[in-house]
Structures are given as C-alpha cells and as structure tokens.
Chains A and B, each alone.
Chain A
Amino acid sequence: MLLTMEFPLGREIMTTVRLAVGGVCSLVGFGLDACEDCKVCVTESLLLLLHAGCGRAKIVFSREDGLKIEISGEGGGVPAEKTTEEEISVALLTALVDDLVTEHTENGARISFGFKGL
C-alpha cells in the first residue's frame, strides 16, 4: 500500500483531494496527462459516492501495475446512474480507467480501478 486518506465527504474537500492525488501520481512517475486523468477519476468516484449518500470516504492507493485506487464510501447506498451527471461520471470512469469495479460493502460502497498511467 502506498497511501491511505480518510476524510468527511463533501464538495469543499475535492480540491484538497485532487491536490493529494496529483502528489501520489507524481510519486509513481505518471506524466501530466495521466495525472490529470487520475484526478478526474477520483473526483468522479467521490461525486458518485456523495450522490449515493455517503458521509465519509477513504481512498487507498497502492502500486499494482501502475496505480490501483480503491475509494470507499461510508453511510450510503451503491452509486447509481439516476441523473445525467451520474451517467456521465460512470461513462467517464469507464472511458478513462482499466477495470472499473463498483460494489456493496458492509456500510456503504466501494469503487476501485487501476491506472496504468501510460
């Protein structure tokens, strides 16, 4: 495992999280574009969890064929594609990452994906 972040989920914390994600991407040697794509994906995942009613989030970064990112939300349901914004978030994630997985957890939901950073 490379890094874990836990924080209350809200729109106001997105910029801070994006900055931290940028730092992690730089640490693993991603280029600028890959780094920006990764930021978009983490933001979209957090927005999906936020819309699903999650109040807290945890991001686990690990080195695994590039970067593996697991984003768990607590206190909400499973992200759905009810609104256009949510549909776009899911479609964007699918377009930008490898092996997107969305699943139930005991107390919320988890979104995970791999990022090769090529």
Chain B
Amino acid sequence: MVKIHFSRKQLCIPYGLFLALFVVIPMLLILFYAFTETVDGTIRFSFANFLNFFTSTAKLSTLLMSFTIAIISTAICLLIAYPLAYILARSKFKKKNVLLMLFIMPMWINFVLRITALRELLDLIGLLGTDNYLNTIIGMVYDFLPFMILPLYTTLEKLDNSYLEAAADLGGNKFTVFTRVTFPLSMPGVISGITMVFMPSMTNYVVSDTLGNFNITILGKLIDQYFTTYDNWHMGSMISIILLVIIFLTMLLTGRFKDENRDARGANLW
C-alpha cells in the first residue's frame, strides 16, 4: 500500500485551484472581453467599448443616475440606522440582542420575496408606478437597512463609556460629546455600513425592477441588459470593469480591505 504523506498545508490546494479556476480566471476573462470586440466572428483587441462608454450620453446618464440613487439610499439608511443603533446599543434593556434581532432578521429572509411583498404594499396604497425613482429608493432602503444597522450597533455597543464620561467631566455638553467623541469613535461602523449599502444600491436590479416597475435602469441592470438583451458581452464586460474601478476607489477611500464583510452579513449571530 502506498503511504500518502499527509500535510496540513496541502489542504489549501483544492481551495486554491477552485479560486484560480472560478474566481481569478473569470475576472481575467472580463478584462479580456472588455478590451476586445468581435468582428465577423473573429475577436480582436479594441478600445471601442471604452470610448463608446465615455462618449455615450445614455450610458453616462445611467451611471450618474445610478450613483444618485445609491447615494440617496445610503444617506437615508444612515439617517435611520444611526439613531436606532444608538438607542439599541445604549439601552439598559436586558435582552438587547433579541431586540437587535428583530431589526436585522430580514437579512436572512429571501430578498426577492421581501421586495415583492413591498411592491404589493406600495400597490395597495397607490404608490406603485407613480414615482419610480422614489419607489426604487424606498426599496433599496428597505432591502439594505439591516446591513447598515448591524455594523453601527456593533461599534456603538463596544464604545467605552468612560470616554463619554470623561468628555462630560471635562465640560463637554451633550452635543459636543456626541460630535467630538461618540461619532468619531463610531466611524468604523459608519464606513462599514456605507460600503455594505452603497455598492448593492448601484447594482441590485431586482430591487429597481420590482419597485421601479421595470422602468429604472441602474448600472447593474445595464450590465445585465448587455448580456441578456443586446447580446454584446464586450460592452457588458467594459461596464463591469468601470463598476470594479468604482468599487476599488471606494475601498481605497474607506481603507476597508478587512474581514468585516463577514461580520456585516451577521455571521456571528448564527
């Protein structure tokens, strides 16, 4: 019998192959498709898609509109979630965790079903179809609010009370204590929440379709259309590259390359 020499390190080989085959190579394929075009059945190198994107007012206005929807949705989430997370984290209620659970539970319930339920509600009260932009923003806030609440709660809950007491003892009134101590200390949670909400708000077209009555085109929808409707995979890949650049820039801006995404998905609660 052949004795297989077993080493713990070797356990990462299958995972490494998996990542190479199904994550890294596919991303390189996007890059390849973005900078090529198919002419008469042959693929050749080209900057056409790149130039096309930045000279097309339709595509640029989609980008701008998508940006606006994402910024407004993220801002509303932050404005709702911050006071809520603050109240929950500071409350003296014994079962704070159960209370928190009520607010972030939707995270684990199928979002298509939740968004469809919201569509039914908007339809019932006569809002559906009146203002597709507004309804899309309501949908984004509805879908992503839990992802803003959780990181804010986590940082505010960890906040050391003695800092706040010290600030008050040194003569800070409630407003200055908040603006000079509490808020700056909660910045990691704010940034984590913003990244969890902003990017999906630019790309999750199920929300904009369902609530914008299939009339709103956000960046994610544009990519989908180039793949499924227009059958132009080169242009779809180019828009993906532009999206990736935006994601990369927000990561640089927020300095967030850590494991927080997992915590923000609520993994610790399982």
Q: Does A associate with B in a complex?
A: no
